[in-house]
Amino acid sequence: MNLLTNLFYFILLFINPLTVYSYDVILHNETEPGFKIYKVLSYRDGITVVHLVKPINESCIEPRIDLRILHPNGTVDSAKVDYPIPEYNFCRGPNGFYWFDINRSLPRSINILYLDIASASYYVLSITRSGYVLSTTHTSEECGFMFANYETENIVMWKYFSRPDDKGNFSLLNEGRHYLQSLCQFY
């Protein structure tokens, strides 16, 4: 019995239950010095969007949004978001974080959340992965909520509603659609 137990453990040594993953390496040299990687957004189609920032000092970065789009075939595209986001969003707030944030949204787009002190409101700037501005929407807890859903197999719709009024009714504030290249192309 002891011999069988030892043999069992010996055989287990040669069985490797771990899976080995391989990674592709993409080498890219920036032409403009000083950029640092701030955020990386990965999509299921293999494309990765890298948000680069350029520090000015300890608390602020240059007021611009530079993206690098890494394709599965190894090519790298540059994109710059051409939209007037207020400059104070690019300085750290009292919590130590920048006022703006970038997040992946829908199958092929990005949402940029930023603050406008003049109206004391948050806005969501919806852009494509290549930096093209789709829409900008005023949003805050006091103003309403956003809903996104598949309208058909290849159309994703989103709607932004007001908060309920005294009677409990909602009003549509803004809406849009995103058309997918192929059916059921999830992100």
Is residue 127 predicted with pLDDT exceeding 90?
no
Is residue 184 predicted with pLDDT exceeding 50?
no
pLDDT tens digit sequence for 131-142 = 888 877 766 656
- As a whole number, mean pLDDT of residues 153-160 equals 74
Is residue 185 predicted with pLDDT exceeding 60?
no
Residue identified by tokens 């005023």 is 138
52: which 2 tokens? 């680069």
- As a whole number, mean pLDDT of residues 133-159 equals 71
pLDDT-derived band at 25 (thresholds 50, 70, 90) equals confident
**What burial letters (b/e) apply to 137-172, b meaning 16+ CB within 10 Å?**
bebeeeebebeeeeeeeeebebbbbeeeeeeeeeee
pTM summary value = 0.65
> What is the secondary structure of 32-48 as a DSSP string?
STT-EEEEEEE-TTS-E
**How many Cα atoms sit within 13 Å of 17 on the Cβ side?**
3
